[in-house]
Chain A
Amino acid sequence: MKGWGAAARPSLDRLLVREKDNTAESELFFRRVLIMVCAVFVGLLAVSGRLVYLQVLNHDRFTTLSESNRVRIQPLPPTRGFIYDRRGVLLADNLASYHLEVTPDQTRDLEATLAAIKSRIALSEPDIDRFRKLARRTPPYTGVPLRFQLTSDEIALLAIDLYRMPGVDIKADLTRRYLVNALGVHAIGYVGRIDETEMAKLDPGQYSGSTHIGKTGVERSYEEVLRGRAGYEQVETNAEGRPLRVLSRTAPVPGQHLYLSLDMRLQAVAEKALEGHNGAIVAIDPRNGEVLALASQPIYDPNPFVNGIEFSAYRKLNTSKDRPLLNRALRGIYPPGSTIKPLMALAGLQYGTVTRGSGVFCAGVYRLPGASRKFRDWKRSGHGGVSLDRAISQSCDVYFYDLAVKLGIDRIKAFLDKFSMGRPTGIDLPGEKGALLPSPQWKRKVHKQDWFPGDTVSVGIGQGFFLATPLQLAHSTAVISQRGKVFQPRVVHATEDPGTRVRTLTEPRSAGTIEAKNPRFWDAIIGGMIHVVEGGTAHKVRTPRYRLAGKTGTAQVFTLGQNQSYNARRLAKHLLDHALFVAFAPVEDPRIAVAVIAENGGGGSATAAPIARKVLDAYLLDQYDEKLVGGLKPAPEVQRNGLE
């Protein structure tokens, strides 16, 4: 074997004239083994030393500990904070409930124990299956829940025989309850059982003893605040591990109560006004960014999710083509349509591509210079000569086609970005989408195509690739109403210590001010928006009781061929245009900004604007239908100071 390979092929080894030398290697190995023997000896000696330390030097201490060692540490999960609305209406609390827990290690015979339980109370196959699955995944000395929501009869039946079944315990816990059911579910969210991916990221100490965690809505985004901190107690137990008495106790710190900025009466009005349509309504107090209503239709009841929704019910929700689980307010992305025109006009003024006085002649159609493709105005006959004010109030498309082309996509993107278009607003709810404010870079990356001038034309009227969420629309409308003052939207108004009931208001999160080069630019677009209602496309929602400014929008769901015409009666419902309306009021001192999207609702002025009026009326005139909001009374324990 000697001289292997080295002579046969030119290798590094050959150059270095190295060959295998079994004797030398054997000696090298012997030396190395000697070192390892020493290492092994030292390692085992260290363990022996540790044994001496524990068994000789500290023997007395550990003997004492072992004699008194009937002590177990039991985690004490904290009580989850309640959720109230801004008036103190209780939305979510905890209900005492009992569940049956089995510790496999402590049972003498697990199968016999299960059979014994089954002979006393109802135990379904899915219950047993879930128990077995969980038991496989957890160490055998920890308790595993077998049945939830025991009735008092079942507790009585089990309690008398509990001493005969070691390892079986009835545990009290608190189950989340949503008192207003489906109302506001998209903002409140729900808690559910902790799943494996969540388990991997959790602090195991803090969650030992807890079975639930916030899954969506504020339940998720304020999980840390609502949950509190776990405590633990040392309990003396008998030989079977049953607690006899509590020796010491580190109390858990209960979670904080949350007061949402939502007014559930307004939420109810909004959800009711939208009934019959899929869509969303977001209402914001523009003076501080507080969300007053966040409706997304359809809605669903969160209560079944708390202890594991049945599979068939979940599948029904999940596969419904109306997608009730989708939070359209934050995650629904729609072409903003004409509602974007005031912002486009402001961009034009800011960059000097238009002035308040300059005009465009609208003949009902727009062509890019040197191109044959026609971009039509919604009004086939055209608007004639239009100024900026009339372009907004009459929603002239040709004006904004021209404006967008003059601005160019880069400047449009740079300016609209300040209003959170194309990026999340940063609301304190999970899962918000940024939607899409397109750019040439984006198009090359995603569509592998260059940006065409025609793409810019469509963006000018909020169509084409341009997409926005209802929240973004409400937010940008709020910013307009405050003439550039930006507040990050938020749904939590205050937190409250459950013991002292001391309330901490959350500070408005100011996100700076968007400066117009000339303050009168704001007057120009707000004036246009006032004229939308006073003589423009939304004149039907004008009211003598307060002044509102708004903008209608009608977003195309599908693209017409070049020479087709839109006929609502001939189209299936799911191809009908989306109806949009954004508004704020009162114009003198805006207290509410609202965005409405009714999917496939047809036209913005006919469908969306009246819905928005209902929300504005309720809020500004404090007029609520007693039948609708009668149950929404502030909880008696809530002190009213600081709440509306």
Chain B
Amino acid sequence: MDWNNGRRALQVIKLDWPLLLGLLAVSGLGLVVLYSAGQRNMDLVLGQAMRLGLGFAIMLTLAQLPPAHLRFWSPWLYLAGLLLLVAVMVVGDISKGAQRWLDLGVVRFQPSEIMKLAVPMMMAWFFAEKPLPPRWLPLLGGALITAIPFILIAEQPDLGTALVVGWSGAVALFLAGLNWFVIVGLGAVLAAVIPLFWTFVMHDYQRQRVLTFLDPESDPLGTGYHIIQSKIAIGSGGIYGKGWLNGTQSHLDFLPEGSTDFIFAAFSEEFGLIGGCVLLAMYFFIIARCLYMATRAADTYGRLLSGSLTLIFFIYAFVNSGMVSGLLPVVGLPLPLFSYGGTSLVTIMAGFGMLMSVHAHRRTLRR
């Protein structure tokens, strides 16, 4: 089978080979790092490999669905997601202090996870036939579509997921051509409202929480401990790193959650600045490739969906690496394709599946 045959085979199963390559490279590296970060626990690696396999299978499946089907189901998935969010408020399970899980007897899952896909789909569906850039009324509609699930999820409280969902709606609006005046205006309103909210609405203990959130190191007994340890792990890695399996901070148990949310620190300790930059470059490659695919989409629905899903992937990578390196506040988002754990991995791979589906039905004419 020569090179062209291989490409054709991938086309038949609707996969984009540069993107597939990028995803395989990052997740492969992720497994290698996980072996070290997880204290050489092979069960952990195998479990993660199984999840990745499941993720890739879901991606492959969704890639086969024509975008028209995705579009048809968009509002229904969104409505179902909203209903489930309300259900979780009423009967949800409490895990680690927040109400996120819905127990369906057999499986427990987080309805908020659905929204990471449903909000981009719904936004794309909503703007699909509207003239763009959007006028005031559609703009308001789009804002509502995002705000409702955002508030429901933030109430759970699950700040990380709420942030992702809000971000996906915001970038959909931006990509739809939101007027610059509106963007600047909204920014100004936000800047005016936050101090008022701070002074008049919030309780003292809530203010204290926000302050430790913004400056975790002021609270060495709480989240600050994570950040202090994580910075030590990264910084001690230097330019070349300590080498695979040679990280001390993660292995001596100083780095909490070294195989989940803070795996980037374990990675940077062992692979150094070079490894870190290579990984970031790989993420940039995946994102750039996806955005390119979005510009080639056949219609507004495809464009907005692809763009929004891609930038969800970006926000995961950016917020996690920024948080672990102490650049951003601590928000519990995993490093995509890297962190140990299942739920968000499945969602992200499903998003790539939709991207590939849209791309497989791109415009055949050159722009």
Binding site for B on A (CB under 8 A): 1, 4-5, 12-13, 16, 18-22, 25-26, 28-30, 32-33, 36-37, 40-41, 43-44, 46-48, 50-52, 54-56, 58-59, 61-63, 65-67, 69-70, 72-73, 75, 105-106, 136-139, 141, 196, 199-205, 208, 230, 232, 239-241
Whether a CB of chain A sits under 8 angstroms from the CB of B132 is: yes
Residues of A within 8 A of B311 (CB): 36, 40
Instruction: Pull 30 A–B residue pairs with CB atoms less than 8 Å apart, ordered by A.
Output: A18-B131, A20-B300, A26-B295, A26-B367, A29-B175, A29-B177, A33-B295, A40-B284, A40-B314, A43-B314, A43-B322, A44-B321, A48-B280, A50-B322, A55-B237, A55-B272, A58-B235, A62-B232, A65-B232, A65-B235, A66-B249, A73-B220, A73-B225, A196-B94, A199-B97, A200-B97, A204-B222, A232-B221, A240-B253, A241-B253
Selected contact of A55 from candidates B221, B229, B276, B326, CB within 8 Å = B276
Residues of A within 8 A of B133 (CB): 28
A26 in contact with B303 given A141-B257, A196-B94 (CB within 8 Å)? yes
Distance in Å from the Cβ of B18 to the closest Cβ of chain A? 16
Judged by DSSP, the binding face of A is: helix
For the complex of A and B, the 3 pairs showing the least CB-CB separation, nearest first, are: A62-B235, A66-B236, A54-B235
A137 in contact with B237 given A47-B321, A51-B325, A105-B253 (CB within 8 Å)? no
Whether a CB of chain A sits under 8 angstroms from the CB of B155 is: no
Chain B interface residue count, Cβ-Cβ cutoff 8 angstroms: 68
Q: Which of B235, B283, B307 has the most CB of A within 10 A?
A: B235
Distance in Å from the Cβ of B231 to the closest Cβ of chain A? 6
Q: Which of A136, A205, A240 has the most CB of B within 10 A?
A: A205
CA distance A41 to B133 in the complex (A): 25
State which residues 80-105 of B face A: CB under 8 Å.
94-97
Q: Is the CB of B273 within 8 A of A55?
A: yes
**Nearest A-chain residue to B249, judged by Cβ:** A66
CA distance A75 to B212 in the complex (A): 17
Q: Is the CB of A203 within 8 A of B205?
A: yes
Q: Is the CB of B177 within 8 A of A28?
A: yes
Selected contact of B129 from candidates A20, A58, A196, CB within 8 Å = A20
Q: Is the CB of A51 within 8 A of B205?
A: no
Q: Is the CB of A56 within 8 A of B97?
A: no
CA distance A52 to B280 in the complex (A): 13
Q: Is the CB of B221 within 8 A of A13?
A: no
Residues of B within 8 A of A201 (CB): 205
Residues of B within 8 A of A241 (CB): 253
Q: Is the CB of B307 within 8 A of A61?
A: no
Judged by DSSP, the binding face of B is: helix
A55 in contact with B97 given A47-B321, A69-B249, A204-B222 (CB within 8 Å)? no
Whether a CB of chain A sits under 8 angstroms from the CB of B151 is: no
B310-331 vs A, CB cutoff 8 Å, 1 = contact: the mask equals: 0100100110011001110000
Q: Is the CB of B171 within 8 A of A5?
A: no
Distance in Å from the Cβ of B10 to the closest Cβ of chain A? 24
A36 in contact with B295 given A20-B131, A51-B277, A66-B248 (CB within 8 Å)? no
**Nearest A-chain residue to B171, judged by Cβ:** A36
A44 in contact with B97 given A18-B131, A201-B205, A204-B222 (CB within 8 Å)? no
Residues of B within 8 A of A73 (CB): 220-221, 225
CA distance A29 to B321 in the complex (A): 28
Q: Is the CB of B252 within 8 A of A47?
A: no
**Nearest A-chain residue to B95, judged by Cβ:** A136
Binds A, one of B60-68, B110-118, B286-294: B286-294
CA distance A106 to B253 in the complex (A): 8
Q: Is the CB of B234 within 8 A of A54?
A: yes
Q: Is the CB of B273 within 8 A of A52?
A: yes
Selected contact of A56 from candidates B132, B238, B280, B300, CB within 8 Å = B238
Distance in Å from the Cβ of A407 to the closest Cβ of chain B? 42
Q: Is the CB of B221 within 8 A of A208?
A: yes
**Nearest A-chain residue to B97, judged by Cβ:** A137
A204 in contact with B221 given A36-B311, A63-B238 (CB within 8 Å)? yes
Residues of B within 8 A of A1 (CB): 129, 299
Residues of A within 8 A of B132 (CB): 20, 25, 28
Q: Is the CB of A5 within 8 A of B129?
A: yes
Whether a CB of chain A sits under 8 angstroms from the CB of B341 is: no
CA distance A66 to B237 in the complex (A): 10
Instruction: Kindly list 20 other residue pairs between chains A and B, CB separation below 8 angstroms, not including A22-B299, A54-B234, A69-B249.
Output: A25-B303, A29-B294, A29-B307, A30-B295, A40-B291, A40-B311, A43-B318, A50-B322, A50-B327, A51-B277, A54-B231, A59-B235, A62-B231, A69-B232, A70-B254, A136-B96, A139-B96, A141-B257, A205-B212, A239-B252
CA distance A586 to B132 in the complex (A): 88
Residues of B within 8 A of A32 (CB): 174-175, 177, 307
Q: Is the CB of B174 within 8 A of A12?
A: no
A59 in contact with B236 given A25-B300, A33-B295, A136-B96 (CB within 8 Å)? yes
Whether a CB of chain A sits under 8 angstroms from the CB of B8 is: no
CA distance A36 to B295 in the complex (A): 12
Q: Is the CB of A44 within 8 A of B221?
A: no
Residues of A within 8 A of B343 (CB): none
Q: Is the CB of B307 within 8 A of A205?
A: no
Whether a CB of chain A sits under 8 angstroms from the CB of B12 is: no
CA distance A4 to B133 in the complex (A): 16
A36 in contact with B257 given A25-B132, A51-B234, A200-B97 (CB within 8 Å)? no
Binding site for A on B (CB under 8 A): 94-97, 129-133, 135, 137, 171, 174-175, 177, 205, 208, 212, 219-222, 225, 229, 231-239, 248-249, 252-254, 256-257, 268, 272-273, 276-277, 280, 283-284, 287-288, 291, 294-295, 299-300, 303-304, 307, 311, 314, 317-318, 321-322, 325-327, 367
**Nearest A-chain residue to B175, judged by Cβ:** A32
CA distance A44 to B300 in the complex (A): 28
Residues of A within 8 A of B229 (CB): 69
CA distance A241 to B291 in the complex (A): 46
Residues of A within 8 A of B277 (CB): 48, 51
Residues of A within 8 A of B130 (CB): 13, 20
A55 in contact with B239 given A36-B311, A47-B321 (CB within 8 Å)? yes
Q: Is the CB of A63 within 8 A of B236?
A: yes
Selected contact of B254 from candidates A61, A69, A230, CB within 8 Å = A69
**Nearest B-chain residue to A75, judged by Cβ:** B221
CA distance A29 to B311 in the complex (A): 14
Residues of B within 8 A of A62 (CB): 231-232, 234-236
Distance in Å from the Cβ of A161 to the closest Cβ of chain B? 21
A36 in contact with B96 given A63-B238, A66-B236 (CB within 8 Å)? no
Q: Which of B130, B317, B325 has the most CB of A within 10 A?
A: B325
Q: Is the CB of A56 within 8 A of B236?
A: no
Q: Is the CB of A47 within 8 A of B322?
A: yes
Q: Is the CB of B129 within 8 A of A46?
A: no
CA distance A47 to B272 in the complex (A): 14
Residues of B within 8 A of A43 (CB): 314, 318, 322
Residues of B within 8 A of A204 (CB): 219, 221-222
A137 in contact with B95 given A20-B129, A47-B280 (CB within 8 Å)? yes
Distance in Å from the Cβ of A288 to the closest Cβ of chain B? 31
Residues of B within 8 A of A36 (CB): 171, 174-175, 291, 307, 311
Residues of B within 8 A of A67 (CB): 236
Q: Is the CB of B129 within 8 A of A4?
A: yes
CA distance A241 to B135 in the complex (A): 60
CA distance A177 to B239 in the complex (A): 57
Q: Is the CB of A239 within 8 A of B221?
A: no
Q: Is the CB of A50 within 8 A of B325?
A: yes
Q: Is the CB of A196 within 8 A of B97?
A: yes
Distance in Å from the Cβ of A22 to the closest Cβ of chain B? 7
Residues of B within 8 A of A56 (CB): 238-239, 273
**Nearest B-chain residue to A51, judged by Cβ:** B276
Residues of A within 8 A of B238 (CB): 55-56, 59, 63
**Nearest B-chain residue to A4, judged by Cβ:** B129
Residues of B within 8 A of A18 (CB): 131, 135
Selected contact of B131 from candidates A13, A37, A203, A240, CB within 8 Å = A13
Residues of B within 8 A of A202 (CB): 205
